[in-house]
Amino acid sequence: MKLMFASLFILFSYLIVSCDTTELPNNKALTIKLEDVSCTEVWIQFSSTNLPLPNNLTLLINDQPKGTINLTTADTLLYIDSLLPNQSYTFQVSNIYNAESSILSNKVTATTLDTTSHNFTWQTFEFGNLTNVSRLFDVAIIDGNNIWAVGEVYMNDSLGNPDPSLYNLIKWNGTQWKPERVYFKNSQGQLFLAPMKSIFAFNENDVWIGLDQIIHWDGTTYKSIELSDAVFPSWINKIWGTSSKDLYIVGSGGNIAHYNGSSWTKLESGTSLILANIAVYNQKEIHICGLNMATVEVLLLNLITVLILVLW
């Protein structure tokens, strides 16, 4: 009898546990973030957590379903076009598993840009005196109150006489331009004042300036970086990069070099012409253009995994 009672107790306990219908917490999630906006287009970064793939999502614009998204990866970039200029929109993404439950992302709001009449108003600023030739070669706009222009500018001293020492950097603070002299310091501790040829800014605390060497502003100090002739024996005509660990510089003599955050590497271009500028189609294709001043010969380099030379 005691054995039968124990068996019934175990069976009853098992049935209680088996009938517990409490579901595990739902840890599935949808998240969206506004990346960019134009007059008629919006780019939204989408992320999902623990969603089965592939999956169909519903895009909601102003709380109204406007289309279906076929999700094949957990993270993707949504491109939405055919919007109206100067209009505010709310965006949300929904995933319906069954009639009783659904998952909604957060809402993001975007206002499309207005169209322009192209009636520009120009304001002219002039620098330098009439005694020497002053030139500005490049500019970096960090924001409307922080603009850096580089070159060589000769101005008068406090007595009104021509100052033989050049200014190589001019900064806009939102109300006025302020000239500065930035010196390059070599490994022997010698200081040099030279024209600046190029500039590229990631933010106000991460600015790269090209002479025939490199100067890096880290938000506190100007750090001089020496480039050996084996890597880059030229003035730096243009700088471009995705980060301070992925920088390209180009110059005369077909010189190209890349910085990976710790060291510089020379890239063979296959030409000895002047390389003047860099244009980027996307982060996988970098176009470098140049010219020969003697023959007015123009070239274009397409840097993908190798350099391809195309003569126009």
**Is 58 found in the same domain as 172?**
no
Which residue in 235, 231, 229 sits closest to 252, CA to CA?
235
Report whether pLDDT(285) > 90. Answer: no
Q: Per the domain annotation, does 124 fall within a domain?
A: no
The answer to whether position 5 is within a domain reads no
Which tokens sit at 42?
A: 């919006």
CATH code of the domain containing 206: 2.130.10.10
| Site of tokens 């906006």 | 37
304 assigned to some structural domain: yes
Indicate if 218 and 303 belong to the same structural domain. yes
Predicted confidence (pLDDT) per residue in 146-184, tens digit: 999 999 999 998 888 899 999 999 999 999 999 999 999
Residue 157 DSSP one-character state: -
95: containing domain: 29-111
The whole-angstrom separation of Cα 309 and Cα 312 is 10
Nearest Cα to 170, choosing from 110, 228, 126?
126
Per-residue pLDDT tens over the stretch 175-222 = 999 999 999 999 899 999 999 999 999 999 999 999 999 999 999 999
Indicate whether 59 and 148 sit together in one domain. no
Q: How many structural domains compose the chain?
A: 2
Do 302 and 179 share a structural domain?
yes
Answer yes or no: do 83 and 168 share one domain: no
pTM comes to 0.61
Q: Can you give the CATH number for the domain in which 91 is found?
A: 2.60.40.10
User: Do 185 and 105 belong to one domain?
Assistant: no
152 plus 228 within the same structural domain: yes
Confirm if 85 and 114 have CB atoms less than 8 A apart: yes
User: Is the same domain home to 276 and 155?
Assistant: yes
